[in-house]
Amino acid sequence: MILRVGEGLNTLLHLHHQRLVRADRGAHGRGSNRTGRGGGDVVLRVPPGTVVRVAGDEKIIGDLVDEGQEMVVARGGRGGRGNARFSTATNRAPRTAEDGQPGEQFELDLELKMLADVGLVGLPNAGKSTLLARVSAARPKVADYPFTTLEPYLGVVQAVDDELRTLVMADIPGLIEGAHDGAGLGTQFLRHVERCPVLAHLVDLADPTSVEGRVDTIRGELIAHEEPLETRPWVLVGTKTDAVGDREATLAELAEVAEGYGVAWRSISAVTGEGIDRLVGVLFEMIEGAKER
């Protein structure tokens, strides 16, 4: 039984309904010179970023990252040897053959922790998927209701001045208060940003409620998450500047919130394109900074 990192796979959903995976059985050895045949390999495709553990055990036995990377998770039993293998000088036609051995079997936990450079976080409707669609070829669904995105998406973003410089951006479902405790789509998705060296925190500027309150809600969730996301470098991104009511006051509030947290901020509109290139530039700088560290 082999796990192999498959091209273009982003999720483990294809395994969700296939809980039991069994390789072909081999056969026992037999008379008339027949060795039992071995069972065939079963290859399960998994997305890059799949972490493998034996069920109930914390220890990671595999971390599948690279395209095509493989891991043998269970070995098949040896086929039984046929009677010819038992022949000796005095017994040319032995009647002995061997039984095949059973293969290994156990329960595995597969967990996907995506590998992206930038993780987009924010409340539902903040404009995360719209941004990803704007800057990459990824096409996550966009709609004006919360929890449009139900599974993570990855997109490759090219630098504005150099198409060979790329970064991977991850769009995850919107977070809500209590996410770290499992509210909404919760921790399921927070863990996808655990490995992102940089986070972009999106906040909807067209929403008339307090920017500070909404940013604090998401920060609170990142801090309460079991893995330390609190110290992860991040940039505060105000979205939908084309639809904001009092532009000046709102941008001032955004700047103040960013200053309070001691982080950089940008404002963007996915509709007019305002601020998008500059944001992408900032993200590249932050990732390079994080890699140096």
Ligand X SMILES: Nc1nc2c(ncn2[C@@H]2O[C@H](COP(=O)(O)OP(=O)(O)OP(=O)(O)O)[C@@H](O)[C@H]2O)c(=O)[nH]1
Least separation in angstroms between residue 59's CB and ligand X is: 34
Partner whose binding site includes residue 124, from ligand X, Mg ion, none (CB under 5 to 8 Å by kind): ligand X
Least separation in angstroms between residue 68's CB and ligand X is: 31
Phi-psi region of 184 (alpha: psi -120 to 50; beta: other; left: phi over 0): left
Residue with the shortest CB distance to ligand X? 174
From 27-35, 83-91, 121-129, 238-246, span contacting Mg ion (CB under 5 A): 121-129
Residues 75-114: x where in contact with Mg ion by CB under 5 A, - otherwise, as a string: ----------------------------------------
* β pairing state of 234-239 and 198-204: parallel
Partner whose binding site includes residue 10, from Mg ion, ligand X, none (CB under 5 to 8 Å by kind): none
Residue 208 or 228 having the CB closest to ligand X: 208
166 touching Mg ion, by CB under 5 A: no
Least separation in angstroms between residue 120's CB and ligand X is: 8
Residue 65 or 271 having the CB closest to ligand X: 271
The alpha carbons of the chain give a radius of gyration, in whole angstroms, of 26
Residue 23 or 135 having the CB closest to ligand X: 135
Residues pairing with 264 in the sheet: 235
Residue 23 or 133 having the CB closest to Mg ion: 133
Interface contacts to ligand X, rule CB under 6 A: 122, 124-130, 142-144, 146-149, 173-174, 239-240, 242-243, 269-271
Q: Looking only at residues 135 through 154 of this chain, which bind Mg ion when binding is defined by CB under 5 A?
A: 148-149
Amino acid at residue number 290: A
Residue 73 or 131 having the CB closest to Mg ion: 131
Residue 141 or 165 having the CB closest to Mg ion: 141
CA 52, chain centre distance (Å): 13
Question: Which positions touch Mg ion (CB under 5 A)?
Answer: 129, 148-149
